[in-house]
Structure 1
């Protein structure tokens, strides 16, 4: 098994275990890992989880044929109902969206998220896609979970180059650890079994805050078996390239 496959399995199972039975959960485009994690949670411990997605499908029966973008028409065709994107925003603003999976490129200890530019806003080194739904969903969803397949000092920085959105994060999961946002700061929630606190600090551009060193639970044999069954094409590892 390739290292990235092992890490993607760990991250996917960790995300699935963050989701509770009965929660209403949304993922957007290019969200293969959360998409698979949501399906895994429904198979394991959260059969009443409501899976919403950007093309508008509700509780798709399978994600085996989903396109690379995690926004394929099959998520609607295999769904129980249709719930369009504009209704997702309304749902969240009414306080009825339990979890939203969102992305970002830079993060700092204060919970600021940058998905807009790298460098000066007027003359950026790189212009990014922008906030899209995150500017609405991070402030309004009950729990905002960010996943990122890179963890280095260019991603976790002392201060983001641009604040696309801020605050109200719940968890950030990376190939090295899980951060939890509390008391206005990112705190280290757990580090993954394959790493060390020294490696996490070396790849983080701000001092780590933690009460004790805790380790992320490794995937169980059952979780891995179901994961391979529901995602035979390994979409969960797509973002590792």
Structure 2
């Protein structure tokens, strides 16, 4: 019998994100977004063949992601694409309510759905100055569903109150190495715990009191999903952030 600890966190997160995506959705990922990029390719290969894959270089439905460079913004994503759709058009698409899903990042999150990607500490004299809003400030408020992934889950990431609000609200899901959060009724709710974790571990690593209706566990990757991941991501880009 296979133990839950035999499953890699990167595979659990990739498959969980893939299963959030639906056929015929238009989905965008940005730079340094290997895990969602692989999840999008997995969804197209398994259950969502007509999902539309948009990315930073502008390639629509790239034929391959196997050599898409360390940044997930390589020329292959454009060169093997079916069409060209530049970044400014992605922003316009989202503001017109036509972008179904956008994958975005952040450094701090609080229970009210505030996202910090700007500074750690005081804004005028920060301990760390971060990249800032960039696409998040536009896409989180305007995309139909904003999914954030984060490869660290600790009390410095999930805080009682963010140091600076880069953007807020309109989140859909946050996927971490421990769990999945759902944003509803203005609060982050614990949607599911990964079978490799526990409620106690999630709470110990979260800076606010967890809200949940019923304890659920994230589905483990299937044999078919794992086989497809080896095929579409032989260089294991999905694990590059861990």
- In the superposition, the TM-score normalised over structure 2's length comes to 0.97
CA–CA distance in structure 2, aligned partners of residues 115 and 68 of structure 1: 21
**Structure 2 residue 40 is matched with structure 1 residue 27:** no
Query: Are residues 225 and 60 of structure 1, via their aligned partners in 2, closer, same or farther at CA, if it must alter by over 3 Å?
Result: same
Alpha-carbon offset, residue 122 of structure 1:
0.4
Q: Does the alignment pair 1:184 with 2:186? A: yes
1:6 counterpart = 2:11? no
Matches of 2:57 and 2:133, distance apart in 1: 18
Q: Match of 2:140?
A: 138
Q: What CA distance in whole angstroms lies between the structure 1 residues aligned with 2:69 and 2:157?
A: 27
User: Is the Cα–Cα contact under 8 Å of residues 4 and 237 in structure 1 kept in the other structure?
Assistant: no
Structure 1 stretch 203-212 or stretch 5-14: which is displaced more? 5-14
Name the SS for the 2:240 alignment partner.
helix
Aligned to 1:125, what secondary structure does the other structure show? Answer: strand
SS at match of 1:229: helix
For 1:87, which of 82, 86, 89 is the aligned residue? 89
- Residue 204 (structure 2) pairs with residue 202 (structure 1): yes
Q: Partners in 2 of 1:130 and 1:4 — Cα distance? A: 37
TM normalised by structure 1 equals 0.98
Q: Compute the displacement of 1:4 (Å).
A: 10
What is the match of residue 147 of structure 1?
Answer: 149
State the Cα deviation string for residues 7-63 of structure 1 (Å, max 9, x = none). Answer: 000100000000000000000000000000000000000000000001100000110
Pick aligned residue for 1:17 from 16, 19, 22 = 19
Q: Does 1:237 align with 2:217?
A: no
Matches of 2:219 and 2:48 in 1, distance apart?
18
Aligned to 1:120: 122
Return the alpha-carbon distance in structure 2 between the equivalents of residues 94 and 68 of structure 1: 31
Q: Structure 1 CA distance, aligned partners of 2:228 and 2:15? A: 10
Check if 1:221 corresponds to 2:223. Answer: yes
What SS does structure 1 have at the residue aligned with 2:227? helix
In the alignment, structure 1 segments of 5+ residues that lack a partner are none
Query: What's the secondary structure of 1:118's corresponding residue?
Result: strand
Aligned length: 238
Runs (4+) of structure 1 exceeding 6 A deviation are none
Give the equivalent residue in structure 2 for 1:49. 51
Q: Identify the match of residue 211 of structure 1 among 203, 210, 213.
A: 213
Structure 1 vs Structure 2 CA RMSD: 1.0
1:5 Cα deviation after fit: 7.7
